[in-house]
Amino acid sequence: MSVIINILIVITITVGVVFTAVTTIGILRFPDVYTRAHAASKSATLGVMSILLGVFIHFWYNEGHFSIQLLLGIVFLFITSPIGGHLMSRAAYMAGVKPTDLTVGDDLAEVVKKAKRENSTLKPEDQ
């Protein structure tokens, strides 16, 4: 039983470390803010969740300590990390960072332009 648990810990931590390294490669080599945010928000989240799962299993079986903080940390990261990635790429778009030349389509541009037009027509009435 102990061998199986140790193999499980090694597998989860290895998966997490591989995804962490993939995150760094993606952030260093992708051409664009949006593709970099894609790499960071998804694979970093999966990597840290897998590492925390391995550490949780280690503390549960080898140390006899059921750590509720680690479970709470996994759930919190699973909820907040995609929100953070979405907020960062949205802030980059609103700040006017251009996407790379390889980008096929930009559906948000029309919406943003329309919202700006409505705001500019609404402003004199407000004041």
Partner 1 sequence: MMIFIWICTIVVGLSMAGLMYRVFKGPSVPDRLIALDGIGVMLISAIALLSILFDTRFYIDVILLIAIISFIGTVSFSKFIERGEIIERERHH
Q: Where does this chain bind partner 1 (CB under 8 A)?
A: 6, 10, 13-14, 16-17, 20-21, 23-25, 27-28, 33, 36-37, 40, 44-45, 47-48, 51-52, 55, 58-59, 63, 65, 67, 69-70, 72-73, 76-77, 80-81, 83-85, 87-92, 94-95, 97, 126-127
- Measured between alpha carbons, how far is 17 from 44 in angstroms, rounded to an integer? 10
Q: What's 100's DSSP letter?
A: P
Q: Which CB, 14 or 103, lies closer to partner 1?
A: 14
- Measured between alpha carbons, how far is 68 from 58 in angstroms, rounded to an integer? 13
Q: Which CB, 95 or 104, lies closer to partner 1?
A: 95
Amino acid of residue 57:
I
